[in-house]
Structure 1
């Protein structure tokens, strides 16, 4: 009898949850808008319904979110990735072009429709080529009355930090012969809530608040602190944590933090919300670029709002909190005994065309002709064969419920924030750690590889998040359970590096996908509008699924024996030679002027006389 009562109560609870869930329906017409967020240069940005910044989306856990997208840009394809949301059973709604969908071309429509079954701080952004640096990004906040810290604050605030470029992405020279080192474009400015140094969060004395922080930038990590205030970390990337005190945090691109802070008793002054760009990531710092900004906790509107005098070595004197030490609130134990180990070495270099690219295991990601999800759904039993996803997509097939370990070795002197779609993951090892040692290996000749037989003890309850930073010339080890059948992107979230090919495709339980997933007709209609196939292998071959003839290919590797400097010199020499030949040919074919004709006749007569 007691068991039946418990079943009844459980069913009633589920029914009440379903009844309380709302349907949030939005209509997004993606349009160009003129904006000048830093007050220094007006430029075109991608807006929604002729408005920018984009709307902040707020939902409750369990709500259904429906977003109807129309591409009214006219000259740019698009998509939306719901960053950090697992999309359980709705992998087709994840958003990365050519992995889970075709791009939404100008004039086409696409509907995203899914249930939000998570809590925390997320964001949404374009995931088609390089488009979110053009302003196509915003916060997505998921409220949950059952969060452990819900009753510990009076009010919440949410802010974004980001880098900003005065030029459209298409007008920035990056993957080019003129940039053989692959130096990332230096931002024109840094924004706070899509503006510069004008945000005031009005607070009361002796009161606790929740502050959500999202780095929606394309490149640069930022340090954050509150002048003369400590705070408590309670969430990272949608994962609630045990309370952890901190005074300075490092927020890489795409990372999120929620913190609790308590105000002071006195209202005699205001206090700075300070952000400092990580200057180590920049190849140069123009005189016009300020790396630090001050916004404010407004205690007293009549008091001064003076910028905090920040020295850029503040992060050396007070190292940032090391997120590796965080403990998830649910205390999920370490995933032991991985059944699948994927080793990925990160490197940067050039290919035979002289342009800079990024590589996993010496292979730069190149888009397939068919979105990889559609390949998985139309390849039958061969969907478990990594070959059908192409030779250049860095594809890895995972068995259902595999415990997967990904070992990242950084053969590059820069750091890389890696994001995995469809999951958060445990960070079980990272070397070096945050703080003063983080950049200690940056100038090493050889990377510090992870040794599975000789490492520090793994945490009992490892920190989980969906973006973790791989240190320069260091290593990072993450683990997750392949419990979400789908095609999931794994990539560096520095958008310039993503464009260079620093990405992989993890195909989880493809035969389970075929049973569970279905793609709406309007998604296939988007492919038709783009003139793209939506069945078959990476080469769009539906007759012979193992025949990859015609698949998209990257430029060829540099021939053996050539150094990077040599191949660049060769390319430039060839360009110069062709330019010289073209000039000679043009000069030779041009009609002679009258003076040149007279001179030629006179020369001919002299030769005849002799």
Structure 2
């Protein structure tokens, strides 16, 4: 597929050269943290929750040496880090999902992730540097539930929206996360979170009045806030009393500005919005309402504080109001028009994949079109490098789809009828055009949102979420529900894209050593 020459030239002229980078060290440790009035042992990056922010500029090479210093046997001691939203163009070995692109990093060992965020930021044109709001998290079983989650921000010095805001730094990152008082390995199914944390602080029902996160603004300035859902379970409806929000980015792709008063955000999704600090100098509630659990704000649960500089140090007295301008996914459109790949009608793609979600509660196991993903003993990438050339050669059987190169892929996921729906699905290695969104029966072949996590809706709403992408990035790419416990019980498949090219991928020697080291561990060392 080609673009008009003028459009292609304009894109090429704005591309960034890839620059040098320093090696960053990310220590993965156990630490007792009290985030909500209850102290528990955790698995965290850099000793904090959320983990140490990783920032870079557009086009910058990123090297992160992950040092596993975990010692607590009540939780997993090995680890693996996924750089959520980064395409890993040519570096699928650095993508991070355990038993898909690597073996886990064993305790008392380290592994260097080395990648340059480039690829399909502008859809299926390769070779462009990524910029936007991303995050990193453990991708080993349910480990990120225990705390291994952190922001990854790639700044664009030539951001096309830069005239809309005055402030954009690590102080304007807002993370939403569910929190559990029981380590994930010991938690029963189904798993229910205890606390909703905003920037790592929160209160739980029946708990103490723990300190809440405070976001400070100066009157008259405009702020770019980067909202990241690090959730393992719920989705949230986010709002700030007395303030509207202008959404300018979804999942690393700049969008046409949309003014809203609330944002529903699912696990793994990210949005940037501009807030104008022009209200009376005071305190205002920041609200993050989960879709289940305690769905109130009584006593400051599900809340944080927006505090104007020079406002009194106290809880806000503002009241919640009904949303009249909620963010609708169908109202999001890329700032730079990017043609939808394929033909503008249903089924107008080279490969059509329909994935039906089902749940066997007695097991419990999730299935996608009859297959439940179980991590193999040998990662998919290693299987391919070792000679596997067909989907049926890859284990576990039934969980792989071999995709040919440079083809348009259309994936449809009908809304699920199970009690835990809706399911947010994330595709590694790509973003995609969402041509049909949850809650809509309309197909948009002109200017749909481009993102990497999509809400797949429900059966009761007759949803049939559909998205397209082009196979321009060889590798074994995970497609999975981002509700972590659902992934852990099988709600995933692997797209083995361009297997012949993947089989020639050059991997570092340290990557080759991961499996022998991990395989030699005793059960209590895992």
TM-score (norm 1): 0.74
**Per-residue deviation, 1:194:** 0.6
**Per-residue deviation, 1:305:** 3.0
In the aligned structure 1, how far is the partner of 2:296 from the partner of 2:165? 41
Task: Kindly tell me the number of residue pairs found equivalent between the two proteins.
Answer: 475
* TM alignment of 1:290-329, pairs within 5 A: 292-302=302-312, 304-306=314-316, 308-310=318-320, 314=322, 318=324, 320-329=326-335
Deviation readout 1:51-93 (Å, 9 max, x if unpaired): 5542111111111111112222134221000000001111100
Q: Is residue 173 of structure 2 the alignment partner of residue 158 of structure 1?
A: yes
Contact residue 250 and residue 451 of structure 2 kept, 8 A: yes
**Per-residue deviation, 1:169:** 0.6
**Residue aligning to 1:264:** 278
Q: Is residue 402 of structure 2 the alignment partner of residue 397 of structure 1?
A: yes
Q: Secondary structure at the match of 1:23?
A: coil
In the aligned structure 2, how far is the partner of 1:160 from the partner of 1:233? 16
Q: Secondary structure at the match of 1:324?
A: helix
Q: Secondary structure at the match of 2:513?
A: helix
Q: Secondary structure at the match of 2:356?
A: strand
**Per-residue deviation, 1:359:** 0.7
Deviation readout 1:409-442 (Å, 9 max, x if unpaired): 1332410000000111110013424xxxxxxxxx
**Residue aligning to 1:409:** 414
Contact residue 189 and residue 290 of structure 1 kept, 8 A: no
Deviation readout 1:163-196 (Å, 9 max, x if unpaired): 100111112112xxxxxxxxx3221111010112
**Residue aligning to 2:454:** 468
Unpaired segments of 5 or more residues in structure 2? 1-10, 118-128, 203-210, 343-347, 522-526
**Per-residue deviation, 1:462:** 1.2
In the aligned structure 2, how far is the partner of 1:478 from the partner of 1:204? 41
**Per-residue deviation, 1:274:** 1.7
2:58 to 57, 61, 66: 61
Which structure is larger by alpha-carbon Rg, 1 or 2? 1
**Residue aligning to 1:275:** 288
**Residue aligning to 2:208:** none
**Residue aligning to 1:487:** 476
Q: Secondary structure at the match of 2:355?
A: strand
**Per-residue deviation, 1:49:** 4.8
Deviates more, 1:119-128 or 1:186-195: 186-195
In the aligned structure 2, how far is the partner of 1:456 from the partner of 1:17? 40
**Per-residue deviation, 1:209:** 1.1
Q: Is residue 341 of structure 2 the alignment partner of residue 341 of structure 1?
A: no
**Per-residue deviation, 1:285:** 7.5
Q: Secondary structure at the match of 2:145?
A: helix
In the aligned structure 2, how far is the partner of 1:139 from the partner of 1:327? 24
In the aligned structure 2, how far is the partner of 1:423 from the partner of 1:465? 9
Deviation readout 1:221-277 (Å, 9 max, x if unpaired): 11111211112110010010011111111011111000012121643x222222111
**Residue aligning to 2:506:** 518
TM-score (norm 2): 0.85
In the aligned structure 2, how far is the partner of 1:202 from the partner of 1:276? 21
* TM alignment of 1:135-150, pairs within 5 A: 135-150=147-162
**Residue aligning to 1:439:** none
In the aligned structure 1, how far is the partner of 2:499 from the partner of 2:248? 36
Contact residue 173 and residue 226 of structure 2 kept, 8 A: yes
Distance 1:290 1:219, change over 3 A: farther
Q: Is residue 369 of structure 2 the alignment partner of residue 361 of structure 1?
A: yes
In the aligned structure 2, how far is the partner of 1:285 from the partner of 1:274? 11
Deviation readout 1:268-325 (Å, 9 max, x if unpaired): x22222211112xx5x8899997632421324333653254448xx4xx647311122
In the aligned structure 1, how far is the partner of 2:14 from the partner of 2:457? 45
* TM alignment of 1:67-466, pairs within 5 A: 67-74=64-71, 75=73, 76-116=77-117, 117-156=129-168, 157-174=172-189, 184-196=190-202, 198-264=212-278, 266-267=280-281, 269-279=282-292, 282=293, 292-302=302-312, 304-306=314-316, 308-310=318-320, 314=322, 318=324, 320-336=326-342, 337-350=348-361, 354-379=362-387, 383=389, 385-392=390-397, 394-413=399-418, 414-433=421-440, 456-466=442-452
Contact residue 351 and residue 409 of structure 2 kept, 8 A: yes
Distance 1:266 1:417, change over 3 A: same
RMSD of aligned residue pairs (Cα, Å): 2.5
**Per-residue deviation, 1:11:** 11
Q: Secondary structure at the match of 1:512?
A: helix
Contact residue 247 and residue 273 of structure 2 kept, 8 A: yes
Distance 1:290 1:500, change over 3 A: farther
**Per-residue deviation, 1:393:** 5.2
In the aligned structure 2, how far is the partner of 1:393 from the partner of 1:429? 26
**Per-residue deviation, 1:457:** 4.1
**Residue aligning to 1:536:** none
Q: Secondary structure at the match of 1:155?
A: coil
Unpaired segments of 5 or more residues in structure 1? 1-9, 175-183, 434-454, 534-610
Contact residue 431 and residue 451 of structure 2 kept, 8 A: yes
Contact residue 224 and residue 273 of structure 2 kept, 8 A: yes
**Per-residue deviation, 1:133:** 0.8
**Residue aligning to 2:26:** 28
Distance 1:11 1:249, change over 3 A: closer
